[in-house]
Amino acid sequence: MSANKILLELKQLCFEHKVPIMRDKTLQVLTKLAKNKKILEIGSGFGYSSLSIWTNGQPKTITTLEKDKRSFEICRTYLKDTNITIHNTSAFDWIPTKQDKYDLLILDGPKSNQKALFQKYLPFLNSDGYIFIDNTNLFSEIHQLTLRQKKLKQKVNDFIEFLKHLNPEKFQISFFNIEDGYCIIKLIK
> C-alpha dihedral over 143, 148, 150, 155, to 10 degrees?
-140
Q: Does 28 bind ligand SAM (CB under 6 A)?
A: no
Q: CA-CA distance, 43 to 62, in Å (whole number)?
A: 12
Minimum gap (Å) between residue 111 Cβ and ligand SAM: 8
Q: Is 41 exposed, middle or buried (0-12, 13-18, 19+ CB in 10 A)?
A: buried
Q: Which stretch binds ligand SAM (CB under 6 A): 54-62, 63-71, 124-132, 137-145?
A: 63-71
Q: Does 31 bind ligand SAM (CB under 6 A)?
A: no
| Element spanning 125, H or E | strand 125-134
Of the two residues 45 and 57, which places its CB atom closer to ligand SAM in the complex?
A: 45
Q: CA-CA distance, 103 to 129, in Å (whole number)?
A: 4
Minimum gap (Å) between residue 36 Cβ and ligand SAM: 21
CB atoms within 10 A of CB 46: 26
3-state secondary structure of 86: strand
Minimum gap (Å) between residue 117 Cβ and ligand SAM: 8
Of the two residues 119 and 172, which places its CB atom closer to ligand SAM in the complex?
A: 119
User: Please, which of residues 92-151 interact with ligand SAM by CB under 6 A?
Assistant: 92, 108-110
Minimum gap (Å) between residue 188 Cβ and ligand SAM: 27
Q: Does 57 bind ligand SAM (CB under 6 A)?
A: no
Q: Does 91 bind ligand SAM (CB under 6 A)?
A: yes
Q: CA-CA distance, 85 to 47, in Å (whole number)?
A: 11
Spatial strand order of the sheet with 102-107 comes to 85-88, 61-66, 38-42, 102-107, 125-134, 182-187, 171-176
Minimum gap (Å) between residue 167 Cβ and ligand SAM: 27
One residue of 33, 34, 42, 74 binding ligand SAM per CB under 6 A = 42
Q: Does 71 bind ligand SAM (CB under 6 A)?
A: yes
Residue numbers at the binding site for ligand SAM (CB under 6 A)? 20-22, 42-45, 48-49, 65-68, 71, 90-92, 108-110
